[in-house]
Structure 1
């Protein structure tokens, strides 16, 4: 396995021509360092070339990203993963198209990010590939999209602020979001329509349990749900609602 530090690219964006992939490519073009070695990847070379031309108009002073084509079979994806330090995939639904991508990264020691919101699939991936990723040094970060990123980033910022200003750790952090606005892409709608075909009610319930998708063991004094929360999935917190 090639060293992660000696690879051709720093970042490969897989699924770059899709709805979310284009937004991600535009952000990398306008906001990342101009010396970033990165590539856009997918199955259609012609679509990737068209996207590269569009990206060039956003930032004419930086080199265009390289273009890599790959199918969704394990061998092709492992070959792609070995070319980069970090692979970002926006190809969903992930329970249909994401497993081979994550597996390739776990096996090759390639750091991995996605934007899934499919908790049952993440549950499966943790159980199947955590040990492999731990052995190869791959950092696997699913759910970097709108379903999880706002709360995760706010939690990280709060913990850092408390540590730096008060020089202490934190206990439980409760996050509440109100009046969130957004719309579903075609991929998100496809995910919703196919998720229940892939997973039964038992699997959905198991993956929704507290700490179910964490590779870290829960604390001994784990939080226990009230009867109302068990029935509705909603938790009431004083002063937050």
Structure 2
């Protein structure tokens, strides 16, 4: 058998994959790494590579290895993972079919793995069931390497570095918007909508999984961070803020638990919120949320939700793929509001008589979060797994992005590729 490729991008014909192949080409060229692409359709893969060759004017692109693989065909998955050192998984959704790639392919072939998943059930199941197997196989498995979890998890790490002290609590505010609000068409793939509905239907799985993950003996930190369950207007963004549930916070909390258990660091209390820019958006959000909640318990209702994504999402999702113009029209701002103690390192069990005295606001910005930024985060994760193995955790296993990549150059690399990480304000807390 020929020598293994350094990296394979699986799912190259999807939107994330098509953005990602450009980053993979440039990064591998810089470091002289070998790479290949994989997917179900040879015809579609060749079209992607032809476009890349046209853009780069590099005739060697035509020689990039093509591997045919389908998640419903276990043999093809095994053959794919046996051909590379690091698999970059851009396919989705993963809850129903992604497990075979980790369990029966990457672990058996001792291939490192990163993916773009944001499905809590899948992420948590991989953590619970395959950490020990991955450790024995000597591989690193890092789920949730797309836009949201990487930006949140590594954004918090960057904030703590800038804070120069001890962070007690962080609230995050995510704003998603458009440069030109008059453009029409879906913003996200229907597969993301289908995955969301699937997760809502199977949310009961999460409780049992997270009971196995989260340590019930974590320290009780004071002052405690209050959770705001009702809409409110924050001082850091215009509009209304609502509680944001999903994989972002649970991934961050897993990172904080690891740092407490393995490094004896004081955990950071975290809460995540989503911004809606006007009151009528909030009203629409509540109405659509109620409609979805009414439909979910019934088989016919779920069938209707899956058949009419545009109606039930106010056009955010659609049956056709988002246009390139619509993708590039979108942008995000993620604002961290941290409170703690400056120039003071406090242990996890240390009792304090003083309230937090210092605050910081950090903001991360970028364009096209759903696809361009997700692809960048994913490709950089696989690339750093290949090139900065000396900066990964000492023991292999299943990790969050904030654990796996906290000592790598990922924040600088993201900044170099168009994202901005800026401290907007530092302030004293007097009462």
**Which residue in 2 is equivalent to 1:221?**
219
- Find the aligned partners of 1:49 and 1:42 in 2 and give their Cα distance: 10
2:201 matches 1:204? no
- Find the aligned partners of 1:190 and 1:100 in 2 and give their Cα distance: 20
Unaligned runs of 5+ residues in structure 2 are 179-186, 230-241, 245-270, 273-336, 340-358, 362-431
**Which residue in 1 is equivalent to 2:407?**
none
The TM-score with structure 2 as length reference comes to: 0.45
Whether the 8 Å CA contact 2:28–2:34 is kept in 1: the answer is no
| Structure 2 SS opposite 1:63 | helix
**Which residue in 1 is equivalent to 2:191?**
187
User: CA offsets per residue over residues 29-54 of structure 1, 9 Å max, x none?
Assistant: 24443522111101111111111111
User: CA offsets per residue over residues 26-78 of structure 1, 9 Å max, x none?
Assistant: 22124443522111101111111111111112222373132111132333212
Q: Name which one, 1 or 2, has greater alpha-carbon Rg.
A: 2
Alpha-carbon RMSD across the aligned residues, in angstroms, is 3.3
**Which residue in 1 is equivalent to 2:5?**
9
- Find the aligned partners of 2:28 and 2:139 in 1 and give their Cα distance: 22
Going from structure 1 to structure 2, the CA distance change for 1:78 and 1:161 (only over 3 Å counts) comes to: farther
Larger relative contact order (C-alpha < 8 A, sep ≥ 6)? 2
| Structure 2 SS opposite 1:203 | helix
Whether the 8 Å CA contact 1:151–1:175 is kept in 2: the answer is no
**Which residue in 2 is equivalent to 1:97?**
97
The structure richer in strand per residue is 2
2:179 matches 1:178? no
The structural deviation recorded for 1:14 is 0.4
Which of residues 14, 20, 24 is equivalent to 1:18?
14
Unaligned runs of 5+ residues in structure 1 are none
Q: How does 1:54-203 map to 2 (within 5 A)?
A: 54-61=51-58, 63-64=60-61, 65-72=64-71, 73-103=73-103, 104-158=105-159, 174=170, 176-181=172-177, 183-197=187-201, 199=202, 201-203=203-205
The TM-score with structure 1 as length reference comes to: 0.77
**Which residue in 2 is equivalent to 1:41?**
38
Going from structure 1 to structure 2, the CA distance change for 1:219 and 1:184 (only over 3 Å counts) comes to: farther
The structural deviation recorded for 1:148 is 0.5
Going from structure 1 to structure 2, the CA distance change for 1:59 and 1:194 (only over 3 Å counts) comes to: same
Going from structure 1 to structure 2, the CA distance change for 1:26 and 1:138 (only over 3 Å counts) comes to: same
The structural deviation recorded for 1:140 is 0.6
